[in-house]
């Protein structure tokens, strides 16, 4: 049966990284926390590297890998607090905020996986869903906060999407994500494609919150692009498809 470890190791999921970040920071407390209490402006890839290391350790690593990354994430989160006047209160260890971060990672991963391989059967989908709860419960999130099943998750997801908001601070984080000042040359060359795909993967309402233009022509181009990407990805050897997982696990073990 398909498990979380099978889904998470697929390198194609990296395409959804920007989408997940934009969904996360559209909860103002998270967005302001990222803006004011992280090095996102100077090193926008750091958050992505940290998230990927944590996910790969949890889903595909050993118990030692998991323990190492749990300690690393908690050390990073421990001093992060906000609550200045006119600034949404942020506590990186807030279980409800951790729930939303975990939810965006789960929903983005499943959406990308099913774009490539088609719908996951219902029994496996529920197993994978329950396993993804560990993204939050391995930190401070009470497992009871994770919606009971996929139907309950859908209700939570829709309600949270409807409650998202974007202000000038969050827009500044989004602009840094889309046009980072310091990135490797290879990534810089690919950024126009990354931006386009990221915008295409967002829900319509979230795209509108960020003021991102999206026309029927954009949608047609996006669908064509994904069809080609998916077709090529499916024929790649497993060694290539799973290369990011191996890279991040080596990175964890050498730290």
Query: How far is the CA of 88 from the CAs of 71, 200, 208, 246, in angstroms?
Result: 26, 28, 22, 38
Instruction: Tell me what pLDDT residue 39 has.
Output: 64
**Euclidean distance between CA atoms 128 and 187, whole angstroms:** 31
* For the chain, the helix, strand and coil percentages under 3-state DSSP, each to the nearest 5: 75, 0, 25
**Residue 185 to residues 114, 182, 189, 194: CA-CA distances in angstroms?**
31, 9, 6, 14
Structural domain count, the chain: 1
Could you report the average pLDDT of every consecutive run of 10 residues in the chain (255 residues)? 95 93 94 76 71 91 90 70 54 85 96 95 96 91 95 98 96 87 68 91 97 96 94 96 95 87
State the pTM of this model. 0.91
For the CA atoms of 143, 133, 166, 48, the dihedral, rounded to the nearest 10 degrees, stands at 130
The predicted structure's pLDDT at residue 186:
63
Structure tokens at 73: 């994430």
What is the token pair recorded at 63? 């118990």
Domain containing 54 equals: 4-253
């Amino acid at each position: 049966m398909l498990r979380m470890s099978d889904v998470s190791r697929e390198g194609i999921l990296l395409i959804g990284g920007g989408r997940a970040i934009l969904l996360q920071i559209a909860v103002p407390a998270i967005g302001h926390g990222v803006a004011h209490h992280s090095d996102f402006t100077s090193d926008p890839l750091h958050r992505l590297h940290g998230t990927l290391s944590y996910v790969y350790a949890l889903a595909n690593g050993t118990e030692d890998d998991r323990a190492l990354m749990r300690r690393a994430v908690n050390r990073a989160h421990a001093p992060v607090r906000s609550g200045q006047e006119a600034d949404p209160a942020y506590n990186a260890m807030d279980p409800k905020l951790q729930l939303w971060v975990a939810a965006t990672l789960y929903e983005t991963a499943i959406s990308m996986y099913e774009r490539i391989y088609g719908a996951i059967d219902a029994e496996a989908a529920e197993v994978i869903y329950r396993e993804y709860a560990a993204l939050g419960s391995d930190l401070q999130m009470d497992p009871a906060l994770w919606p009971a099943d996929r139907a309950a998750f859908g209700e939570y997801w829709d309600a949270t999407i409807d409650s998202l908001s974007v202000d000038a601070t969050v827009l500044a984080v989004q602009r840094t994500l889309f046009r980072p000042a310091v990135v490797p040359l290879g990534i810089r060359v690919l950024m126009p494609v990354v931006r386009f795909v990221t915008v295409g993967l967002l829900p319509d309402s979230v795209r509108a919150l960020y003021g991102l233009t999206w026309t029927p022509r954009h949608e047609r181009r996006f669908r064509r692009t994904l069809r080609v990407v998916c077709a090529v990805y499916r024929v790649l050897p497993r060694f290539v498809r799973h290369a990011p997982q191996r890279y991040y696990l080596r990175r964890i073990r050498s730290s």
